[in-house]
Structure 1
Amino acid sequence: MSAFQLIKKLCRHKSVAFSLFVIVSVVLASLFASWIAPYDPNKQFFEGLTMEGAPLPPNSTFLLGTDLLGRDLLSRLIYGAQTSLIIGVVANGIAILIGTLVGVTAGFLRGWVGNVLMRMTDLMMAFPALLLAIALAAILEPSLWIVALVIAMVNWVQVARVIYSETIAISSREFIAVERTLGASTRRILFSHLLPHLLPTIMVWATLGISTTVLLEATLSFLGVGVQPPTPSWGNIIFESQTYFTSAVWLVLFPGTLIVLLSLSFNLVGDALRDELDPSLKGRD
């Protein structure tokens, strides 16, 4: 099945088609932020505050209003999409890479190597992901790339566990036994037979994982241990606006809606992708 055919099948469902539209829109907005954003996201406008020094609500000059420093909220949200996607793609990519490497190695070699790797994975899973991420982010100096690395360090364990189970199941099949009997090298078995069968699972987790990563980044930024101001991210926009939750609801409403929309979109696309690539899992939670 080609990529075009797969997308066409996914778009048969209205919810998935809308989710793809949301994802594509956010990606395009982040790629062309410097052309789309009406203002510099860090520019403080004197006319961006009321006479009392409060943020302005949405108006003809600032379409989504301003924040507590008189900066254009729309511009900060557009540039914040860059932060969310960079962390989402980088952190999830590292997590998929580490998880696949650990899972395939443990599932294919088994023995003491597999036991050591899986016990290490179980140990990591014993710690609450959010608390571990907060601890790591607090120890290291928070920055865009450090946050991505921290999120990857707490997210790879789920991938490793799933890939481990899949690797054991595939390694037990007859065609793998036949290849071994014929004297096929480990390299050939891994790259010609095992990894191609794992690819659908990896693709699904690569999609679903971005949703988790976006939420975790927003949570860390909201708690003040994520991406640090003045770099805009949807999480730290909410964090900076805590004192205006009731009087300037747009400062929370717009970034919060974007976080939920993007996370939900990746979840819906990931579920649909799972159903298409592995029909035996259709309808299973």
Structure 2
Amino acid sequence: MAVGALLRGLVRRPVLFAGIVVIGCVVAAALFAPWLAPYAPDNQMFDGLSLEGAPLPPSHQFWLGTDTLGRDLLSRLIYGARTSLMIGVVANGTAVLIGLTVGILAGYFGGLPGGVLMRFTDLMTAFPALLLAIVLAALLKPSLWIVAMVIAMVNWVQVARIAYTETRSLTERDFILAERAMGAGNLRVLALHILPHLVPTAIVWGTLGIATTVLLEATLSFLGIGVQPPEPSWGNIVFESQSYFQSAPWLVFFPGLAILATALSFNLVGDALRDLIDPTQRGRD
């Protein structure tokens, strides 16, 4: 699709522009955390606690207040953006790659191999994603990369089913049959004709899935089986502060707001990309 059409779509969607701005801010925070954060995320400061040892509310020195250990909440949120975004991109990218591979192979070859792959996909779909992620995270030693892989292992099934359906439709098209009749091998057909048609689907699901991944990471960290302290993530910041919800509500409100804004922004961008990329949607704008 032409760049001009994309720009016109952005102009007609101010909400999409707002989502891109929020995502840009999160990405900037993740990339430039050492320069943006006023303090180190694990720096426990005596002036970050009141005389009674309670966390401090937002002030000119600590813009978002401090936590129960005297650490600056703003600094931990900035560094937490790095953790949450890294898991979101890595886990969702891996899930999309697995889903595309399974769906394309099952849809293209069909028969017994395709049936086995899709029955395995159905089996994975039958398990609640959150419950399966909790079990896997509990069995494995929680860390940044383990959490990312656990999330990828439970999030690929939706992409696989969509890729399977589209691949089955493409294999029956005349241009695919013509390529096969001319002696083209399976690898050539898959690389030059099947995969390019699935790139828009991968882009859309790659964007939409980041929101789900960020939420799932936050849930696992909130339950204590995600990214482990002292490495900050938005989920474990909420987990550490949940018992202080009434006495220090900012400790839960600000990381919760970050999770909500990021997930909503990725959903808005993903929906807009689906409308802009899908040819059946363009005539409706």
Instruction: Structure 1: state its 5+ residue gaps.
Output: none
What is the alpha-carbon distance in structure 1 between the residues aligned to residue 271 and residue 282 of structure 2? 9
Q: Is 1:99 aligned to residue 108 of structure 2?
A: no
Aligned to 2:150: 150
Give the alignment of 1:19-58 within 5 angstroms: 19-58=19-58
Q: Aligned to 1:63, what secondary structure does the other structure show?
A: coil
CA contact (8 A) 1:274 1:282 kept: no
Change (3 A) 1:23 1:8: farther
What is the alpha-carbon distance in structure 2 between the residues aligned to residue 48 and residue 3 of structure 1? 49
TM-score of the two chains, using structure 1 as the length reference? 0.96
The CA deviation string for residues 134-188 of structure 1, in whole angstroms up to 9 with x for no partner, is 0000000000000000000000111111111111111111111111112222122
Aligned to 2:242: 242
Q: Aligned to 2:156, what secondary structure does the other structure show?
A: helix
| Structure 1 residue 8 displacement after superposition | 5.4
Aligned to 1:202: 202
| Structure 1 residue 51 displacement after superposition | 1.2
What is the alpha-carbon distance in structure 1 between the residues aligned to residue 109 and residue 94 of structure 2? 22
Give the AA of the match of 1:6.
Answer: L
Q: Is 1:267 aligned to residue 267 of structure 2?
A: yes
Aligned to 2:115: 115
Instruction: Structure 2: state its 5+ residue gaps.
Output: none
Q: Aligned to 1:224, what secondary structure does the other structure show?
A: coil
| Structure 1 residue 2 displacement after superposition | 5.2
Aligned to 1:61: 61
Change (3 A) 1:67 1:25: same
What is the alpha-carbon distance in structure 2 between the residues aligned to residue 225 and residue 12 of structure 1? 42
What is the alpha-carbon distance in structure 1 between the residues aligned to residue 161 and residue 283 of structure 2? 21
Change (3 A) 1:9 1:247: same
- CA-atom RMSD, angstroms? 1.6
Aligned to 1:15: 15
Change (3 A) 1:244 1:189: same
Aligned to 1:175: 175
CA contact (8 A) 1:218 1:235 kept: yes
Change (3 A) 1:8 1:81: farther
